[in-house]
Amino acid sequence: MVSDGAPGIIKAIETCFPRSARQRCLGHRLRNLVAKTPEDMWPEFKARVTAAYQAPSRAIARELAAGVVTDYQTQLPTTTACFVDDFEACIAHLRMPITHRRAIRTTNLLERLFVEERRLKILSLYANNFA
């Protein structure tokens, strides 16, 4: 199951699907991190975080994450806390076969469908008003 960080969704997944792996949407997590990181530090921080999220294994991801925490905890305490929060769910995709990982790291594909649905409704309303 892929979700954002909404507590209600997390609780529902854990209650209704207790044996499933919950993947935290990395698109949402990166947006949270960029909002908490100074612009001049973002490129380097993003590279380090992305390396952890896309590591070849969960063990390597944890080692890379520990390095991020060690290097940035004093400079960026809020950003580091956000990075550490729910980290295991952020790397849940690393349990899956490599060919599946890219598709399950984010909810963006599903959200794109929502955007298209809204766009089509707006176009339909617009067309009906001027028909």
Give pLDDT tens digits for 41-63: 999 999 999 999 999 999 999 99
Two tokens, residue 84 = 């550490």
pLDDT at 81 over 90: yes
**How much is the average pLDDT of 56-75?**
97
Distance CA 18, CA 88 (A): 15
Q: In percent, how much of the chain has pLDDT > 90?
A: 50
Mean per-residue pLDDT over the chain, rounded: 86
The verdict on pTM exceeding 0.85 is no
The confidence score (pLDDT) of residue 35 equals 96
Residue with tokens 């809204």: 118
CB 53 within 8 A of CB 91: yes
- Helices marked H in 85-107 — which ranges? 87-90, 98-104
The confidence score (pLDDT) of residue 12 equals 87
**How much is the average pLDDT of 74-93?**
95
Distance CA 127, CA 8 (A): 37
Q: What is the dihedral of CA 32, 37, 41, 44, to 10 degrees?
A: -20
The confidence score (pLDDT) of residue 121 equals 66
The confidence score (pLDDT) of residue 131 equals 57
Maximum Cα interatomic distance, the chain, rounded to a whole number of Å? 62
Distance CA 56, CA 91 (A): 10
pLDDT in tens, 4-30: 877 888 888 889 989 988 888 898 899
CB 30 within 8 A of CB 37: no
